[in-house]
């Protein structure tokens, strides 16, 4: 839940506050590592194959991904003021078609590879990595190989980040493919930490302490600390989270909120665009959009949308059932 709410905070504050979350890119790295951890847990506990896991993830994510993508495209088509860039029907189609088939949009007025739903570039990277793992998982049966791959990807990403002078790469067309080693590193770290966290001698840490440290990392303002946090901060947070303890009531709340995290991540940006459009149409003073109450209202609406998605997502369409069991 920390990841999508932080990303929503970043997108809401964009253009209104200067670097409200200085190390906000860590939310994406937490996301990649969490996906690796959850995948490793599924492989160990349910005996699901990597190919079946990829299919399940794709069939779960893709319908909502498409709905959010089309909603964002429609808003920009219908309300040109919703975007900072000049769009034509042709340019919208040129950007929309690649995104619909899970490819980045490299030829669009916007430099973003997913211009109609900004954060979904990470979803594309995640699906690529899951697909690659489904194909080549037999080469990664030993933890040493996974560790070597993670080290190689970490080195590659650090070199690209140093060259670009940014610790946050992957969402722009000019550095999109840097997101792939970034995702692979996080995914491998998550898988390794799952195995390590199963040791009974591991120290247990209260969940609230883990949350506080994870948030604290994202608000550090130390210059050039981004890559250090990428290499060491994310693995540390994931390791502590794997051994976190919480009272039963807090654990139940965390599980319930955790089920909504992916949907919040997928739909919050179109909701943000829609809120700006509605505010402009109603003549709301733009200064009021910077109010914390406006952010809380966005969070509430996004939660409601995510809860509705969670309620209906268990519908088993015939094609989904057939593909998931092939």
Average pLDDT of the chain, as a whole number? 88
Question: What pLDDT sits at residue 234?
Answer: 93
Predicted confidence (pLDDT) at residue 251 exceeds the cutoff of 50: yes
Predicted confidence (pLDDT) at residue 162 exceeds the cutoff of 50: yes
Question: What pLDDT sits at residue 257?
Answer: 77
- For residue 30, what are the contacts with CB-CB under 8 A and spacing of at least 6? 2, 3, 214, 234, 237, 238
* E-strand stretches of the chain: 205-206, 244-245
Question: What pLDDT sits at residue 323?
Answer: 45
8 A C-beta contact, residue 124 and residue 178: no
| Higher pLDDT, residue 278 or 15 | 278
- The span from the CA of 45 to the CA of 267, in Å, is 30
Q: How confident is the model at residue 326 (pLDDT cuts 50, 70, 90)?
A: very low
| Higher pLDDT, residue 189 or 285 | 189
| Higher pLDDT, residue 311 or 217 | 217
**Six-digit token string for 211:** 């949350």
pTM above 0.85, yes or no: yes
Handedness of CA 63, 65, 70, 72 (dihedral sign): positive
Min mean pLDDT across 18-27, 138-147, 269-278, 299-308 is at: 18-27
Question: What pLDDT sits at residue 1?
Answer: 64
Question: What pLDDT sits at residue 314?
Answer: 63
Question: What pLDDT sits at residue 287?
Answer: 77
- The span from the CA of 267 to the CA of 265, in Å, is 6
- The span from the CA of 191 to the CA of 210, in Å, is 19
Q: How confident is the model at residue 245 (pLDDT cuts 50, 70, 90)?
A: confident
What 8-state DSSP symbol labels residue 107? S
Predicted confidence (pLDDT) at residue 203 exceeds the cutoff of 80: no
DSSP for 281-317, please give it. HTT--GGGGGSHHHHHHHHHHHHHHHHHHHHHTT---
Predicted confidence (pLDDT) at residue 112 exceeds the cutoff of 70: yes
């Amino acid at each position: 839940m920390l990841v999508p709410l932080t990303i929503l905070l970043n997108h809401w504050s964009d253009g209104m506050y200067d670097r409200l979350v200085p190390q906000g890119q860590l939310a994406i790295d937490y996301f990649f590592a969490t996906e690796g951890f959850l995948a490793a847990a599924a492989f160990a506990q349910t005996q699901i194959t990597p190919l079946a896991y990829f299919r399940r993830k794709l069939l779960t994510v893709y319908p909502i991904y498409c709905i959010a993508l089309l909603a964002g495209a429609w808003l920009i088509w219908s309300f040109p003021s919703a975007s900072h860039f000049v769009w034509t029907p042709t340019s919208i189609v040129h950007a929309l078609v690649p995104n619909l088939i899970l490819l980045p949009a490299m030829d669009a007025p916007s430099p973003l590879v997913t211009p109609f739903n900004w954060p979904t570039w990470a979803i594309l990277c995640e699906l690529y990595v899951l697909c690659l793992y489904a194909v080549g998982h037999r080469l990664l049966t030993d933890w040493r190989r996974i560790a070597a791959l993670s080290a190689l990807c970490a080195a590659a990403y650090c070199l690209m980040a140093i060259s670009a002078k940014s610790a946050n790469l992957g969402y722009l067309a000019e550095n999109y493919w840097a997101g792939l080693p970034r995702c692979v590193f996080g995914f491998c770290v998550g898988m390794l930490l799952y195995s390590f966290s199963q040791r009974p001698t591991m120290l247990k840490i209260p969940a609230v302490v883990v949350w506080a440290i994870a948030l604290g990392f994202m608000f550090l303002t130390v210059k050039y600390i981004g890559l250090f946090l990428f290499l060491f901060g994310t693995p540390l947070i994931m390791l502590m989270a794997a051994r976190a303890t919480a009272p039963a009531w807090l654990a139940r709340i965390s599980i319930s909120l955790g089920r909504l995290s992916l949907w919040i991540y997928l739909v919050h940006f179109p909701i943000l665009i829609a809120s700006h459009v509605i505010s402009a149409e109603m003549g709301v003073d733009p200064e009021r959009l910077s109010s914390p109450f406006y952010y809380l209202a966005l969070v509430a609406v996004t939660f409601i949308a995510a809860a509705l998605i969670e309620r209906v997502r268990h519908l088993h369409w015939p094609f989904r059932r057939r593909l998931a069991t092939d």
